[in-house]
Structure 1
Amino acid sequence: MDTHLVLAFVAACALISLAPGPDLLFVVANGVAGGRRAGVLAALGMSTGLAIHTVAAAFGLGALISAAPQALTAVRIAGAAFLLYLAVMTWRNSRAELEPTAVPRRSLRRTYLMATLTNLANPKVILFYLAFLPQFIGTGAGAWPVTAQLLALGLVFIVIGLAVDGTAGLLAGALAEKVAARPGFRRTMERLSAAVFAGLAARLVVDSR
């Protein structure tokens, strides 16, 4: 692979990962609602989703989407419905009485799966892979096979994204745990998390028009 292309891709991935997009907001919301472990597990779930997207893109997802563009609409609707469900459940949790001793511990497996599904249901990630990665594919003499290049670029993106998301989830969770002894603040943070999920769902619906 061309070194200059790889360096340009790394820089672009860093900027994209640092931007406060849906994935980062989702990770932070889970960290706030469930503590450091939930934040880190949410970041790992997002990275798992990206790994699946990478493999799909490398092995021909682009051709499928081009042949059936309505598939993106279906993915977008499913993603909005799932995020709305998370918003409702998080809001309901905020109304429950809680002893002022700890941040509520959600199932880590559930947090991980929710994050993975949320990433998979985001059509913008699919579009990102279809439109962004091909710009960094080398075609000169000695270039790697396209499939291998897509897998390598996807791996770079996953590593950078996991570093950023994991740090954000850890910091958000640490903040939540420090204020866990204040139930009123905990309730407010839960509701802010619910608002984030609902906002992401609304964004997907608006983008589908």
Structure 2
Amino acid sequence: MTISMSLETLAAFTLAMFLLSVSPGPGFLMVVARALSGGFAAGLAAVAGLVVGDIVFLVLAILGLSTLAAVMGEFFLAVKILGAAYLVWLGVKTWRSRPSLPPLEAPEAAASQRPHPKSLGRSALLGFFVTLGNPKVILFYGALLPTFVDLEALTGGDIVVLAMVVTAMLFLVLGTYAFLAARAGRVVKSERALRWVNRATGGLLVGAGVAVATR
């Protein structure tokens, strides 16, 4: 695979992706909420879903996002509404959930409490749909990206490199947030504190849903 991008272009894209990752938005709220409630693995799974969504938009931008969006506008609107509704529903459910501390058990029992693959899959799917309905991401790939990357001149190698940068930046930044949120969730030692964690998590999810629906 050949790479035609200059180092300046790659550096500009990397910086732009970093700024996109650190800016608050529905994706950030959702990752923190999943890490608080499900641990670091759930947070990382949510980040993986966000990464897949970003790469989809990267490919669409290269193929002509504006044309495709005009044709599939109603589809993206439906995804946005459904994703926002699910986030709000999940937030309300988490807010109202009954706090329960995990029992102190042997290491073997603790290992069995690791996140179920289906739970991780739901986190990843949630991240994917949050990205599809996030106007900030659509604006970045549809309007800002072409201003510093010549999309028509990209080779297969360039696309792979850009996808790697997207993956690295999102996992680096949002993965750090997920780690910190998971650590915060693990220090909970009382049902009262856990109740507040549930409410904080639910509030973050509802906030993410509202952000997706209103932007």
Q: TM-score range by the shorter chain?
A: 0.7 to 0.9
Confirm whether residue 187 of structure 1 aligns to residue 189 of structure 2.
no
Give the structure-2-normalised TM-score. Answer: 0.79
TM-aligned CA deviation for residue 69 of structure 1: 4.5
Residue number in structure 2 paired with 1:45? 49
| Match among 106, 110, 113 for residue 122 of structure 2 | 110
Q: Is the 8 A contact 2:39 2:182 kept in 1?
A: yes
Structure 1 contact 133–153 (Cα < 8 Å) conserved: no
Contact between 1:34 and 1:104, CA under 8 Å: does it hold in 2? Answer: no
**1:126 maps to which residue?**
138
| Unpaired segments ≥5 residues, structure 1 | none
* C-alpha distance after superposition, 1:174-198 (max 9, x if no partner): 221122x222111111111111111
* Residue 100 of structure 2: aligned partner: 98
What is the number of equivalent residue pairs in this alignment?
201
Q: Deviations over 1:127-151 (max 9, x none)?
A: 32111221222389xx534x76455
Could you say which residue in structure 1 is the equivalent of 2:167? 158
Q: In the aligned structure 2, how far is the partner of 1:15 from the partner of 1:130? A: 16
User: Aligned residue for 2:154?
Assistant: 144
Following TM superposition, by how much is the alpha carbon of 1:30 offset from its aligned partner in structure 2, in angstroms? 1.0
% of aligned pairs identical?
A: 33
Is the 1:75–1:122 Cα contact (8 Å) retained in structure 2? no
2:212 corresponds to: 204
Q: 1:168 is paired with a residue of what secondary structure? A: helix
Question: TM-score when scaled to structure 1?
Answer: 0.81
The CA distance in 1 between the partners of 2:125 and 2:133, in whole Å, is 12
Write the letter of the residue equivalent to 1:171.
L
How large is the RMSD of aligned CA atoms in angstroms?
2.8
Moved over 4 A (4+): 67-72, 102-106, 147-151
